[in-house]
Chains A and B, each alone.
Chain A
Amino acid sequence: MRSWFLKAGLAASFALALSLSLTLSGQAETPKRGGILTYVIPADGGPSLDGHKETTFAVLHATAPFYSVMVRVNPDNPSSTSDFVCDLCTEIPKPTDNGLTYTFKIRPGVKFHDGTPLTAHDVAASWRRIVSPPPGVSSARANNFVMVDKIEDPDDTTFVITLKFDTLSFMPALADPYAYIYSKAILDKDQHWYEKNIMGSGPFKFVKFEIGQSIEGVRNPDYYHPGQPYLDGFKAIFAPKESVRLDAIRADRAAVEFRSMPPSARDQLIKLLGDKITVQESDWNCGNVLTPNNARPPFDDVRVRKALFLAIDQWKGAQALAKIAVVKTVGGIVFPGSPFAATKEELEKLPGYWPDIEKSRAEARRLLKEAGQENLTFEMLNRNVDQPYGIVGTWLVDEFSKVGMHVTQRVVPTGPWLDAMRRGDFAVALEANCQNVVNPVADSGRYLPHDLYPENFAYHKDPVQVEIYNKMLHETDPVKARVLMRDFENQTIGVGAHQLMVTWWYRIVPMRSYVKGWKISPSHYLNQDLANIWLDQ
């Protein structure tokens, strides 16, 4: 059953990739060797250089080319949500011991950039640091590995992970792009060394890092994937302002920005550069989430929360917003490209997705009247980031007004925005859910109540929702897990009306047409080691 689901996933992903990519050039061409790729990173520079510790894409876009990982999303098929391949292992093992034990063989002959051999001991030391970091060390995604029981490295080439329970969320979690393999010898001396230094076994060797400005790498001649990397090197320049990045691509100071650009930037570059620019687009594993504070009146009344959702015309709104913002697809709590995602017919049964918006809004007004909230007035907390928070927030205010609600926005910087949500100091918040590898079961954990998932700010109590989730977490049959996912989604949005996914984001990556080999994925965190990129110049 699991293999059937995998095939279904692959087929769905393939269809998605075909339909979404405007241009996927270079597939049949022979890669050319040489050249330096210059790209821009839309950030001021990340905090530390340690992938295990950090969560921002700025760290990953700057450091991924220097590191290997154990398992990754297939770089030749990154739009897939279920195609995982080995990077350092020789093959993805079939689990033994009733699906609890995964025994990986590590590729022989791999060397770190300092010339020392990379063995299973390095892999195990890195994964131990990720799953259960030693005191004083921070691992940002350790909670994704609640299923891991123990990690062993019996010899130089064998790496064993034993699980507490079998779950579909394990393999996507293992393909975490931040799970860099570090040198055990270095970690043994100093667990914090990698925060300020770079030394991996990836396709590029570290050359220099100019603080807050740029990072450079040069081709690793000992790289273990035959023929790769094709580039002689790369230079990544931090450029937080969009106009700079746009001008830089126009003037060929940079060839690409891998995160995403808004539709207007894409259109402008196509207009100015014609066939010198190629655009790849994809649904993005990020979306905005509308979170009413379930613990605060009047949003402690499920009728008011439902009315909030019913006021929104997602189907029409998404089409209009896609012209000006990095959003496009209407979806439920699972990434729309995943086999676990709700179909349009399934979504249309939930409040906030009804196909007949007049009927939906009439029901919203009825619920508000019934709850004694006909003149509901509230403030929506939003983040001072234009794309797409600002645009989506403004659209929502207008949607709410159509059922007689009077809504204002409190737009604040990231720190106060997160702080207000953590303190429960808001009526309704517009937040985001942005993940890397599509991992439907793990990703939907963020909708669990605050006492189980501290970064959920709906502040709701729902034992039924928790029970469904626990069943889903332990379900190993993908078909049954999908049914449970629908129940979970219905409980979250339909029955409890705790939170609503408001339009999924849409990734637009314009690049100079001479950049070949790179394929877009549903996440800006994936496929960034640059090993398969070549320049047609």
Chain B
Amino acid sequence: MYQYIAKRVLLTIPTLLGAAALVFLLMRLIPGDICLVRLGGGGGSFDPKALVACHTEIGVDRPVIVQFLEFIWGIIRFDFGTSMWSGKPVTTEILARLPISLEIAILGTAVAIAIAIPLGTISALKQNTWIDVAVRIFAIGGIATPSFWLGIMSVLLVLDVSAAITGTPWMPPIDYVPIWKDPIRNLSMAILPAITVGYRYAAVSMRMTRSAMLEVMREDYVRTARAKGLKNKLIVNRHALKNALLPVVTLLGIEFAFLIGGLVVTEQVFNLNGVGRLFVQAVQNQDYTLTQALVMLTVAIFVFTNLLVDLLYGWLDPRIHFA
């Protein structure tokens, strides 16, 4: 098992380096540069010497190959450099945003699991009844509804309902406070985005749970368990659900990794200062170093989440062995 983990971790190195090289080249194919955006983005005039000084300061006036080698050498030393936009270390920029993204990803996943697994199971067990139809409509609704629309609507709903009840409109805070500093304020900010994200995420997982359960419930070993006279609850919980969860766990893992850096729209709608917003900002500003580091982070999260999911398979299905 440990050998397997070590192999997988080692395999991430070429993956990360490949991603690094790709993003390095792609970023430089975008016309324009960060200094232009920085000085000319406001539409005002600026001193042309300032543009030259900016290029020199951030080092984009050097040959691309030199920049690339420096970037790779930095990765080897775990030094991702400084943001070309803010001048702050890239790690500082990312670490400032990571807590809120992680929190929303965890809460969103919790909401998704809490909705998807029970409803998906019930839907499968009550196949073709009105309950099944209702759950499927709920799931399709979640897939079909754009999260930005749901986010905006949920804020407007809270504003209108609070105004109708108390006469004063209320909305969640728009600035983040860590949960250990002010749990109530933190959760009041995080709960709506978590539900918004969780609903869509649950909808996909719910359909996966349903179809996996339908398949498992028709397996011979379930029929055998029934023939042995086991209670339905025991059959579902101990024999069917655990096996049906294998594809669901895979899906949950991929979605969780996506949530860390992919909540671009949700973070904008709820003014969350997260990694997704930073990603968009970095690309728009043509901040090469920050974008490169964020891509590396995203790739690393995907790789390690997949590893974790693979390890979970062993727990869910004892027949799986790691060699």
Q: Do A and B bind each other?
A: yes
Q: Which residues of A contact B (CB under 8 A)?
A: 40, 44-45, 47-48, 53-57, 133, 136-144, 192, 195-196, 210-214, 235, 237-241, 243-244, 247-248, 250-254, 272, 286, 413-420, 422-423, 431-436, 443, 445-446, 453-455
CA distance A166 to B283 in the complex (A): 45
Q: Are A55 and B44 in contact (CB under 8 A)?
A: yes
- Of B10-18, B29-37, B215-223, B247-255, the segment with at least 4 beta carbons within 8 Å of chain A is B29-37
> Which chain B residues (55-69) contact chain A, with CB distance < 8 Å?
56-57
Q: List 22 A-B contacts (CB under 8 A).
A: A40-B174, A56-B38, A139-B50, A140-B46, A143-B45, A196-B88, A211-B96, A239-B174, A243-B155, A244-B271, A248-B171, A251-B169, A253-B173, A272-B169, A286-B43, A415-B33, A418-B32, A419-B31, A419-B36, A431-B43, A436-B44, A455-B48
Smallest CB separation, A404 vs chain B (Å)? 31
Q: Which among A144, A272, A413 has the greatest number of chain B C-beta atoms within 10 A?
A: A413
Q: Are A47 and B38 in contact (CB under 8 A)?
A: yes
List of A residues within 8 angstroms of B170 by Cβ: 251
Q: Which residues of B contact A (CB under 8 A)?
A: 30-34, 36-50, 53-54, 56-57, 85-88, 92-93, 96-97, 152, 155-156, 159, 168-171, 173-176, 268-271, 273, 277-278, 281, 284-286
A415 with B286: in contact, given A44-B277, A435-B45 (CB under 8 Å)?
yes
Which B residue's beta carbon lies closest to that of A273?
Answer: B169
List of B residues within 8 angstroms of A213 by Cβ: 96, 175-176, 273
State the total of A-B contacts with C-beta under 8 angstroms: 177
List of A residues within 8 angstroms of B270 by Cβ: 244
A455 with B273: in contact, given A133-B53, A211-B93 (CB under 8 Å)?
no
Given contacts A244-B174, A432-B43, A455-B45, 5 further A-B contacts (CB under 8 A): A143-B48, A212-B93, A235-B175, A415-B30, A423-B31
CA distance A237 to B270 in the complex (A): 13
Which B residue's beta carbon lies closest to that of A456?
Answer: B45
Top 10 nearest A-B pairs by Cβ distance?
A415-B32, A432-B43, A419-B32, A434-B43, A138-B53, A251-B171, A143-B47, A419-B31, A211-B96, A213-B273
Q: Are B37 and A418 in contact (CB under 8 A)?
A: yes
CA distance A31 to B92 in the complex (A): 41
B45 interface neighbour in A210, A214, A446, Cβ under 8 Å: A446
Which B residue's beta carbon lies closest to that of A195?
Answer: B87
Q: Are B32 and A44 in contact (CB under 8 A)?
A: no
Which B residue's beta carbon lies closest to that of A60?
Answer: B42
Q: Are B47 and A141 in contact (CB under 8 A)?
A: yes
CA distance A272 to B284 in the complex (A): 34
B174 interface neighbour in A45, A237, A417, Cβ under 8 Å: A237
Q: Are B43 and A416 in contact (CB under 8 A)?
A: no
Which B residue's beta carbon lies closest to that of A143?
Answer: B47
CA distance A445 to B34 in the complex (A): 25
Smallest CB separation, B174 vs chain A (Å)? 5
Q: Are A254 and B48 in contact (CB under 8 A)?
A: no
Smallest CB separation, B266 vs chain A (Å)? 11
Q: Which among B34, B41, B270 has the greatest number of chain A C-beta atoms within 10 A?
A: B41
A248 interface neighbour in B36, B42, B174, B278, Cβ under 8 Å: B174
List of A residues within 8 angstroms of B86 by Cβ: 45, 47-48, 211
Q: Are B38 and A247 in contact (CB under 8 A)?
A: no
CA distance A40 to B285 in the complex (A): 21
Which B residue's beta carbon lies closest to that of A413?
Answer: B284
List of A residues within 8 angstroms of B34 by Cβ: 415
Q: Are A139 and B31 in contact (CB under 8 A)?
A: no
CA distance A211 to B273 in the complex (A): 9
Q: Are A55 and B174 in contact (CB under 8 A)?
A: no
Q: Are A240 and B268 in contact (CB under 8 A)?
A: yes
List of A residues within 8 angstroms of B37 by Cβ: 414-415, 418
List of A residues within 8 angstroms of B152 by Cβ: 243
CA distance A434 to B43 in the complex (A): 5
CA distance A416 to B283 in the complex (A): 12
CA distance A435 to B27 in the complex (A): 31
A196 with B174: in contact, given A140-B39, A240-B268, A415-B33 (CB under 8 Å)?
no
Which B residue's beta carbon lies closest to that of A53?
Answer: B50
List of B residues within 8 angstroms of A443 by Cβ: 45
List of B residues within 8 angstroms of A248 by Cβ: 171, 174, 271
Q: Are A247 and B33 in contact (CB under 8 A)?
A: no
Q: Are A44 and B96 in contact (CB under 8 A)?
A: no
Q: Are A211 and B88 in contact (CB under 8 A)?
A: yes
List of A residues within 8 angstroms of B87 by Cβ: 47-48, 192, 195-196
List of B residues within 8 angstroms of A57 by Cβ: 42
Q: Are B31 and A420 in contact (CB under 8 A)?
A: yes
List of B residues within 8 angstroms of A56 by Cβ: 38, 41-42
Smallest CB separation, B237 vs chain A (Å)? 44
CA distance A138 to B48 in the complex (A): 10
List of A residues within 8 angstroms of B156 by Cβ: 247
Which B residue's beta carbon lies closest to that of A443?
Answer: B45
List of A residues within 8 angstroms of B159 by Cβ: 247, 250-251
Q: Which among A213, A423, A443, A446 has the greatest number of chain B C-beta atoms within 10 A?
A: A213
List of B residues within 8 angstroms of A48 by Cβ: 86-87
List of B residues within 8 angstroms of A40 by Cβ: 174
A455 with B46: in contact, given A212-B273, A244-B271 (CB under 8 Å)?
yes
B53 interface neighbour in A136, A211, A244, A414, Cβ under 8 Å: A136
A140 with B50: in contact, given A212-B278, A244-B270, A253-B171 (CB under 8 Å)?
yes
A434 with B269: in contact, given A196-B88, A212-B97, A415-B32 (CB under 8 Å)?
no
Which A residue's beta carbon lies closest to that of B284?
Answer: A413
CA distance A195 to B38 in the complex (A): 14
List of B residues within 8 angstroms of A254 by Cβ: 174
